[in-house]
């Protein structure tokens, strides 16, 4: 048991409050990670506001990166001192996990959105009472987290933690949509709706596999400029929204007659569009 600090949400919609808490030592297949960076995703904020009251107080956070401080007796993939990023939890034993599709894990809900481990316990406590955790298998809004070894990914030691952290959510969601779901052929056209973290990750993956052209759509001029810098052939504002900053380098004489793929990236709430209904992360809990 060790004393840590965590951003605790006391009730649905309540603010994040930094509190002292107690964290159990890792179980045989768990890893203790000292967090060095954590991203804040729209999902953390949205789920905080709608989280079931009976699962509070709760620690959110699902874009964590840090260094391994201790490992359970059965852990073989990482050792203390390793730099890691964290990702969602999966059982590793069901039909979907065995087929290489952990995002469709049959135990995803219990392992990511139950407020604790799959067995109903939580490694955190607050003033002697259980403190719900295990959000996306990690609850990284804390100085430390105990995570199942399947949710711990070793990264190069020279990769900045602030870069590694979003790989556990935005990076894998955007890139995974392109690489694992759309699987475009080189030369396919692709339009990305929303050039936030998810959308730009999708864009970079599309450029890496040879999609051409890749077009980004976003109302924010700075995001469109960044999309161009990351390889988009064009970056446009949504229809009816022009701030005069639409960046269109590498303009072709003949525009492509159609787009082959259209993943939707993250954008301002209320401005997201429908996209291919294929999941790259576990489903969210029912209220």
pLDDT tens by residue, 58-114: 999 999 999 999 999 999 999 999 999 999 999 999 999 999 999 999 999 999 999
- Please name the helix (run of DSSP H) or strand (run of DSSP E) that holds residue 76, with its range, or none: none
Band (pLDDT 50/70/90 cuts) for residue 239 is confident
Secondary structure letter of residue 209 according to DSSP: T
For residue 243, the tally of other CB atoms under 10 A from its CB is 10
Q: In what order do the strands lie in the sheet with 30-38?
A: 144-148, 30-38, 64-71, 83-86, 152-154
Burial 39-50 (b: 16+ CB within 10 A, else e): bbbbbbeebbee
In terms of phi and psi (left: phi > 0; alpha: psi -120 to 50; beta: otherwise), the region of 134 is: left
For residue 207, the tally of other CB atoms under 10 A from its CB is 17
Sign of torsion over alpha carbons 168, 178, 156, 160: negative
**pLDDT reading at 255 higher than 50:** no
Model confidence, pTM: 0.81
- For the segment 9-15, the average pLDDT, to the nearest whole number, is 96
CA distances from 191 to 73, 117, 219, 274 (A): 47, 38, 14, 13
The CA-based angle 186-188-190, given to 5 degrees, is 125
**pLDDT reading at 272 higher than 50:** no
- For the segment 145-168, the average pLDDT, to the nearest whole number, is 96
| Separation CA 247–CA 236 (nearest Å) | 7
| Separation CA 206–CA 254 (nearest Å) | 21
Contacts of 19 (CB under 8 A, 6+ apart): 5, 6, 7, 8, 126
- Please name the helix (run of DSSP H) or strand (run of DSSP E) that holds residue 171, with its range, or none: helix 170-176
- Pick from 106-115, 212-221, 223-232, 276-285: least confident: 276-285
Q: What's the pLDDT score for residue 154?
A: 97
Q: What's the pLDDT score for residue 243?
A: 58
% residues pLDDT > 70 (the chain)? 83
**pLDDT reading at 129 higher than 80:** yes
**pLDDT reading at 278 higher than 50:** no
Q: Which of 208, 204, 209 is nearest to 228 (CA)?
A: 204
Q: What's the pLDDT score for residue 252?
A: 37
Q: What's the pLDDT score for residue 74?
A: 97
Q: Which of 135, 55, 58, 137 is nearest to 90 (CA)?
A: 137
| Separation CA 277–CA 224 (nearest Å) | 25
Q: What's the pLDDT score for residue 262?
A: 55
Which of residues 257 and 88 earns the better pLDDT score? 88
- Pick from 24-33, 53-62, 71-80, 242-251: least confident: 242-251
Contacts of 12 (CB under 8 A, 6+ apart): 48, 49, 50, 51, 52, 53, 56
Render pLDDT for 199-217 as a digit per residue (tens, 0 to 9).
999 999 999 999 999 999 9
Tokens of 10: 């006391």
Q: What's the pLDDT score for residue 5?
A: 98
Secondary structure letter of residue 284 according to DSSP: P
Q: What's the pLDDT score for residue 283?
A: 52
| Separation CA 215–CA 194 (nearest Å) | 10
All domains in the chain, ordered by first residue? 2-168 (3.90.180.10), 170-281 (3.40.50.720)
Given the structure tokens 């072709």, which residue do they identify? 252
Residues belonging to the chain: 287
**pLDDT reading at 23 higher than 50:** yes
Q: Which of 208, 48, 277, 229 is nearest to 216 (CA)?
A: 229
% residues pLDDT > 90 (the chain)? 80
Q: What's the mean per-residue pLDDT of the chain?
A: 87
């Amino acid at each position: 048991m060790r004393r840590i600090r965590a951003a605790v949400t006391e009730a649905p919609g309540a603010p994040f409050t930094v509190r002292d808490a107690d964290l159990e030592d890792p179980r045989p297949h768990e890893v203790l990670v000292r967090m060095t960076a954590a991203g804040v995703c729209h999902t953390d904020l949205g789920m905080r506001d709608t989280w079931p009251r009976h699962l509070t107080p709760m620690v959110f956070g699902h874009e964590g990166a840090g260094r391994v401080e201790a490992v359970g007796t059965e852990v073989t993939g990482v050792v203390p001192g390793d730099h890691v990023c964290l990702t969602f939890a999966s059982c590793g034993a069901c039909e979907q996990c065995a087929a290489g599709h952990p995002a469709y894990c049959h135990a995803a809900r219990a392992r990511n959105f139950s407020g604790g481990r799959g067995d109903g316990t939580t490694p955190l406590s607050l003033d002697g009472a259980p403190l719900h955790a295990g959000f996306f298998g990690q609850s990284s809004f804390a100085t430390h987290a105990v995570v199942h070894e399947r949710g711990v990914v070793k990264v190069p030691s020279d990769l900045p933690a602030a870069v590694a952290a979003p790989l556990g959510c935005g990076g894998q969601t955007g890139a995974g949509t392109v690489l694992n779901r759309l699987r475009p052929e080189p030369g396919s056209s692709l339009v990305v709706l929303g050039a936030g973290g998810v959308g730009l990750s999708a864009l970079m993956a599309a450029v890496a596999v040879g999609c051409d052209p890749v077009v980004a759509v976003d109302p924010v001029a700075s995001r469109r400029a960044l999309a161009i810098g990351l390889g988009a052939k064009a970056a446009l504002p949504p229809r009816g929204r022009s701030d005069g900053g639409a960046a269109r380098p590498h303009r072709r004489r003949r525009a492509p007659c159609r787009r082959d793929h259209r993943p939707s990236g993250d954008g301002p709430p209320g401005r997201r569009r429908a996209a291919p209904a294929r999941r790259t992360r576990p489903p969210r809990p029912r209220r």
